[in-house]
Structure 1
Amino acid sequence: MREDYADLVQQAQRAAETAHAPYSRFRVGAALLFADGAVVTGANVENASYGLSLCAETVAVARALSEGRRGGLVAVAVTSPDADTISPCGRCRQVLNELAALDRADPLVIGAGEGGTRQWRLSHLLPDAFGPDALSGKEGEG
């Protein structure tokens, strides 16, 4: 793994330490690397109404968008100290795709845990992704 991605994984690990996971005890951290070198992190936030819980990747994407980031996603690291290896769930793959699609990026996704790391391209994890173009043949507006 490239050294800069090792740092990205470490930032995701630090984010996992702030997870609010009182029900599952499954802590997850995510770190998004952008082309300008900025990193935005997130941790999962559980809710007693389970459907309202937020995954770490979703929190990180929401933070990035609320900071005005509209493209430039290079890599994503997701990790959990409570798993051997991890990858984004289906919902998070879709959320990441929406951000990546803003500039037609295909970011590297790094899954890390106690059992090591794996790497994929987002397009491999979510082939034939649903996106703004599918809504009416028009690109989404941001």
Structure 2
Amino acid sequence: MAIDFDRKKLIQKALDNISHAYAPYSHFHVSAAVLMSDGKVYTGVNVENASYPAGICAERNAIFHAIAQDKAAKLVAVAIVGGPDGKIRDYCAPCGVCRQVMREFGKPEEIKVIMGKSTEDFKEMTLAELLPMSFGPDFLNEHSSITT
């Protein structure tokens, strides 16, 4: 069930929020905007911590915020922007952990992952392309109420 949406507006939401990134250690600022099946958009930024594993990536921050608001909504698209000190020079791909989290909340062949340098310059892939042969909730239990 593909949903039509304005990619440029989603990328702009991520761009508008990059200044909120908290990256005092890596200085690599990342911002993400996620579009959910209910049409709502949520943003998130990377938030680092002196105890490195305690930080969170922008994509997971945005997805968790969305699920906290409506756990029934499915992930439609994620726009990601990032760069050193918030200066975007290249496409910013999601890390493996974020790809796996995306997999939890939709069908990999339908989720669009948009990596932007600007609203005019971006690459788009499906999650299935970024995370082939993925493991998801549908593998755990044939009687599970979770469906993607």
Q: TM-score, normalised by structure 2?
A: 0.82
Cα distance, 1:105–1:40 mapped onto 2, change above 3 Å: farther
What is the rounded CA distance, in whole Å, between the counterparts of 1:31 and 1:5 in structure 2? 10
Contact 1:34–1:73 (CA<8 Å) still a contact in 2? yes
Query: Pick from 10, 20, 24: which aligns with 2:26?
Result: 24
- The equivalent of 1:112 in structure 2 is 116
Query: Pick from 97, 104, 112: which aligns with 1:91?
Result: 97
Cα distance, 1:49–1:85 mapped onto 2, change above 3 Å: same
1:72 to partner: Cα distance: 3.4
Cα distance, 1:140–1:78 mapped onto 2, change above 3 Å: farther
The answer to whether the aligner puts 1:135 opposite 2:140 as a matched pair is yes
- The equivalent of 2:52 in structure 1 is 50
- The equivalent of 1:59 in structure 2 is 61
Equivalent residues, number: 139
Contact 2:23–2:47 (CA<8 Å) still a contact in 1? yes
What is the rounded CA distance, in whole Å, between the counterparts of 2:97 and 2:145 in structure 1? 19
Higher percent of residues as helix:
1
Cα distance, 1:126–1:138 mapped onto 2, change above 3 Å: farther
Deviations 1:52-107 (A, max 9, x none): 11000000111011001423322110001344111111000001111115xx7721
Larger CA deviation: 33-42 vs 85-94: 33-42
4+ residue segments displaced more than 4 Å: none
Cα distance, 1:84–1:4 mapped onto 2, change above 3 Å: same
What is the rounded CA distance, in whole Å, between the counterparts of 2:105 and 2:131 in structure 1? 13
1:33 is paired with a residue whose SS is strand
2:17 is paired with a residue whose SS is helix
Q: TM-score, normalised by structure 1?
A: 0.85
